[in-house]
Amino acid sequence: PQGDWAPPQTPPPGVIEVSQTQPSPAAQNGVFGVRVTDSFDVLEGLDLGATLLRTYTPFPGPKQLVYLSDKDTDANPQNGPFRLVLGYDRETVFGADFALAFSIPDVAEGLVLRGEAAYRLTPDTAGRDPFTQNPSLDGVLELEYTWPDGPTTQLLYNLTWKKADAPAPDTLTHRVALLARHDVDERTHLEGAWVQNLSDGSGMLVPRVRYTLADGVEAKAGLAFFYGKDGSEFGVWRENSELDLGLDFSF
């Protein structure tokens, strides 16, 4: 993400320029992966999957501080000025996922439990190199249920762990989310999502409605509302909250 949606970053003291490098288009810099899946006759069906991926970190991180001697006014290289060079690090991703369909007799039918987890292994396993990004772990557990004559809902729990640069403590983030979609009739369609960061108290709310006015003509409205304190995960996007109204024509 760039512009208004770029992740906020605080450069080190003395940095007056920021540049970014990317891997060269060479075979040794390619992205390679393999995925294995299988299904089992467990309850109403169980799907398992495993993924191994050799790739790059999704966002650039600090790679180098370059002293800009031609822009230094006090001839002291200790306080800069510097150019911060951002770049990507190699990482190996180990992933696993499952989907289990089941029912609770006389209570609920057609439940689906899903789970995914990915461990990102980088060269800096101990978090001692400030110019190499650290390992991390992401996992999510989701329960989906379609209510009789009602909406389809998904309740999710997300856990994120990231190795911090030593000696700082590792970061652990907990989130919950609720998603729902419902076709009221052939014309009216409702959907929405709410995400809450349990670790810093921030969150987002995204309701949407679509209504078919005539064949090929659809009106839609949506709200993206972000809340939280300064510096929190979703609080940094508070100024990006918006109401979106639109009219789609198909021809």
Closest CA to 177 of 196, 161, 204, 205: 196
Q: Give the per-residue pLDDT at 34.
A: 98
Whole-model pTM: value is 0.82
Going from the C-alpha of 54 to that of each of 95, 98, 217, the distances in angstroms are 11, 21, 45
Q: Are 78 and 72 in contact (CB under 8 A)?
A: no
Q: Are 111 and 144 in contact (CB under 8 A)?
A: yes
CA 110/CA 99 separation, integer angstroms: 12
> What is the band of 80 on the pLDDT scale with cuts at 50, 70, 90?
confident
CA 159/CA 137 separation, integer angstroms: 8
Span 86-126, pLDDT tens digits: 999 999 999 999 999 999 998 889 999 999 999 999 999 99
Q: Are 244 and 222 in contact (CB under 8 A)?
A: yes
Q: If you average pLDDT over every residue of the chain, what do you get?
A: 92
Helix (H, G, I), strand (E, B) or coil at 27: helix
Quick check: 6 pLDDT over 80? no
Q: Which of 69-73, 84-88, 238-242 has the lowest mean pLDDT?
A: 69-73
Q: What are phi and psi of 4, to 5 degrees?
A: -65, -20
Quick check: 1 pLDDT over 60? no
> What is the band of 9 on the pLDDT scale with cuts at 50, 70, 90?
confident
The residues near 58 (Cβ < 8 Å, ≥ 6 apart) are none
Span 14-33, pLDDT tens digits: 888 888 888 888 888 999 99
Tokens representing 241 are 């909250």
CA 32/CA 75 separation, integer angstroms: 47
Tokens representing 113 are 């439990």
CA 56/CA 1 separation, integer angstroms: 16
Quick check: 71 pLDDT over 90? no
Instruction: Determine the average pLDDT of the residues in 123-151.
Output: 93
Closest CA to 31 of 85, 93, 87, 86: 93
Q: Give the per-residue pLDDT at 77.
A: 81
Share of the chain above pLDDT 90, in %: 68
Quick check: 2 pLDDT over 70? no
Instruction: Determine the average pLDDT of the residues in 216-232.
Output: 94
Span 23-62, pLDDT tens digits: 888 888 999 999 999 999 999 999 999 999 999 998 888 8
Q: Give the per-residue pLDDT at 32.
A: 94
State the burial class of residue 24 (Cβ atoms within 10 Å of its Cβ: 0-12, 13-18, 19+): exposed
Q: Give the per-residue pLDDT at 10.
A: 77
Closest CA to 152 of 175, 177, 183, 176: 183
